[in-house]
Amino acid sequence: DARVTQTPRHKVTEMGQEVTMRCQPILGHNTVFWYRQTMMQGLELLAYFRNRAPLDDSGMPKDRFSAEMPDATLATLKIQPSEPRDSAVYFCASGPTGVDGYTFGSGTRLTVV
């Protein structure tokens, strides 16, 4: 059963520290997304890639967040420096082209203290 793998599952860090979240998309999926879940905003799209090229990162705070796909098997989301308001669950999802067939990972729960 193919799945999207996210690491770590949980991360607690101090304000100002760098945080890196990783995602292994499903083999063969050419579109990768990063979402953030908060109580107030629901699932917010932060960035997404197609064939490893960034297509849209308009939802991401540019001064502290960065997203990359070093290769087809790895997507990263980095926050530097982290702030308490970044505390949320971050989801990675992958899919073939088109809006059907997205598969989400189990998420990384980030707590910044």
Output the smallest distance, CB 94 to other proteins, in A: 11
Report yes or no: 73 and 27 within 8 Å, Cβ to Cβ.
yes
Q: Which residues bind other proteins (CB under 8 A)?
A: 4, 31, 33, 35, 39-45, 48, 50, 55-56, 91, 93, 95, 97-107
| Closer residue to other proteins, CB minimum distance, 95 or 110 | 95
| Closer residue to other proteins, CB minimum distance, 69 or 95 | 95
Output the smallest distance, CB 106 to other proteins, in A: 5
| Closer residue to other proteins, CB minimum distance, 3 or 85 | 3
Output the smallest distance, CB 25 to other proteins, in A: 13
Residue 49's beta-bridge partner residues?
32, 54
CA distances, 58 to each of 1, 23, 39 (Å)? 32, 20, 20
d(CA 110, CA 24): 18
| Closer residue to other proteins, CB minimum distance, 55 or 113 | 55
d(CA 40, CA 33): 20
Q: What tokens appear for 34 in the block?
A: 């990063």
Output the smallest distance, CB 16 to other proteins, in A: 28
DSSP category for residue 27 = T
